[in-house]
A and B are shown apart, each in its own frame.
Chain A
């Protein structure tokens, strides 16, 4: 349907392949010449590549203002098999351009931040030669993400989907020889890869089913025909959407496949911010929004999506309350916020999901990057402290919030931007998170009372754990020597933070109640339910957040933790429950018991009795048979000429007898 319109296409649309090829150029330059360039140059090239991609997205935005229905820009034929015709085309419409803008804007800022962060991190980890590799992987991630969001068919989307998974794996295990026992980071990468692969299996099945039902994988062929196909195969839409949801639970870290995301924090902090908070994990939400037509044809699947999202939002928020690792809190918070977005898709409020996706990208990237700034300054202080006292380094965990405290005065910029991020996440008006989260909660209020309660409870916990985190990290007095020596980070690190903080403050404007820019913008691509600003709902969620922050202050602010070893006040009052939550409800152990343990037993069974016993038995048995036969036959080869002659004569006699008898 789009090809016929190509003739009247604004030539500005033709720049779209550059969103992929500019980062590719960045990779090539860094790969070929990076060794001779310095660290600054490598980082600048990588950042410019992503920044260029952002500029291209802006051009597309400009072009879409005149042609909002969007175009498909063909680049090349990939393959044709029978009726399956796959080409690499870029889909430029309001939805994909929103994703491109968000990814590239946040991506550029994180790349700039990483120039400073990786310089110190590489020194701290003891291998500065990996600096270049980091930026190559980061640009590769941007390429994969761009392929994902600009895909015009499900197969190209899947290529990007797997590509971001690969980059995630590479970057989680970036310091693959570090971590507990020298393999913890590598194992975290493996866990992420395998867990998401389980989801990808579901997505693949969904794609196969789509091809089976529609005979095509192009978005333009599928979505207009959903009604007709759904009427012919009623159960099929349900199957497609549920299998697709399986892929989403893997990539977007929803129950039951969310377990990889907290472990993914083993990657360097810019990676956590870019991939595991702002962009890659939202791919599932994008996929479901893109496939809205399919979900609308399967209301039961929408219900499932809604419940999965809402339960994840609450469950992860509960776990976040009892974590001590500054990045783990943010990781569970990410899972929880992704739960909001997924629930929003289930509620039929795709715009709200996209809105929250964009604002979440801003404030969660901000929070992660600020936590990175804190971790860096603690690491720096640990090394300085070790040099100053002349003794061995005091080895504390620089990510444990109990080892911090009182950083407000020492790191003022980081404190203020962190505060902005935390308040935005908590949903305090008029910051961006307030509007986006409120839209989701309002949609729940219109649709399902229980979901509404669940989401509000999650919002309460969100505000509470963010309050707890701020109070533990920045208030009170320094609980370790490292925390007392901490200093503010360099401008290269703080400036991106300030920009992200400004975006978090004003980000709500892109879909301001009454203005509704994003909604009208997305209307050209997906079906949009007009959302209304509900004052009571807004007041409820705002007051809930304020109450939660107040409670957090009562528990953690009035009497801060005295020592880094002292018990969490909640642990004192809640006891075993707190420990259980701190241990993440033992879900990892449960999965180990239910799946990994039996799987390992099965693998062991196949390895030892089956492979080493049976298969090797056949192989070795054949070998032994040949060897035994040989050693028996070698007796014939006795070296005596006369016995050979005897056999020859015997042979001749037998032949003669045969000839005589035959005649």
Chain B
């Protein structure tokens, strides 16, 4: 299959992720949308790694997965803390930093 197909899929996933972050109110869903964007990026990396026959892209993917896993741990912990405080994870309720 041509490289452009993979890239198009990656772009679609990324845009879906952005829309999810922008439009959804549930923090968990936003979180999942972020993961979608990560993976769109990962897909682009492996695609190009395949295209140019370089290992660097694939190594990057492993890095991103590791960091994303760590980030998920921190993010979920935050989410639990927010839920305990506010009784909800609706992101529109979280505007204490309003200027």
Contact = CB atoms under 8 A, between A and B. Distances in A.
A634 B99 CA distance: 5
A645 B97 contact: no
Contacts of A646: 22
B98 A645 contact: no
A646 B98 CA distance: 16
Contacts of B99: 634-639
Given A637-B99, A638-B99, A639-B97, A645 B22 contact: yes
A645 B30 CA distance: 11
A642 B92 CA distance: 8
The list of the 3 closest CB pairs from A to B, nearest first, reads A637-B99, A639-B95, A639-B98
Contacts of B94: 639, 641
B21 interface: yes
Contacts of B98: 637-639
Interface string A621-644: 000000000000011111111100
B21 A645 contact: yes
Interface of B: 18, 21-22, 91-92, 94-99
Given A642-B91, A649-B22, 17 more contacts: A635-B99, A636-B99, A637-B97, A637-B99, A639-B95, A639-B96, A639-B97, A639-B99, A640-B91, A641-B91, A641-B94, A642-B21, A642-B22, A642-B92, A645-B21, A646-B22, A649-B18
Contacts of A640: 91-92, 95
B27 to A, nearest CB: 9
A641 B93 CA distance: 10
* Chain B interface main SS type: loop
Nearest to B97: A639
Most buried by A among B91, B94, B97: B97
Nearest to A635: B99
A563 B98 CA distance: 87
Contacts of B91: 640-642
Contacts of A635: 99
Contacts of A638: 95, 98-99
Interface of A: 634-642, 645-646, 649
A643 B22 CA distance: 8
A560 B97 CA distance: 94
9 contacts: A634-B99, A636-B99, A638-B95, A639-B94, A640-B91, A640-B95, A642-B22, A649-B18, A649-B22
Nearest to B96: A639
A640 B91 CA distance: 8
B93 to A, nearest CB: 10
Contacts of B96: 639
Contacts of A642: 21-22, 91-92
A379 B51 CA distance: 115
B4 to A, nearest CB: 17
A649 B23 CA distance: 13
A635 B21 CA distance: 22
A603 B12 CA distance: 75
A641 B78 CA distance: 15
A592 to B, nearest CB: 58
A601 B94 CA distance: 61
Contacts of B21: 642, 645
A24 B18 CA distance: 86
Nearest to A638: B98
Nearest to B24: A642
Contacts of B22: 642, 645-646, 649
A636 B99 CA distance: 8
A637 B99 CA distance: 5
A645 B21 CA distance: 8
A640 B92 CA distance: 6
A640 B18 CA distance: 16
Contacts of A641: 91, 94
A639 B97 CA distance: 5
A350 B94 CA distance: 96
A353 B45 CA distance: 107
Contacts of A649: 18, 22
B39 to A, nearest CB: 18
A639 B91 CA distance: 10
Contacts of A636: 99
Nearest to B94: A641
Contacts of B92: 640, 642
Contacts of A645: 21-22
A17 B18 CA distance: 91
B58 to A, nearest CB: 26
Nearest to A644: B97
A647 to B, nearest CB: 11
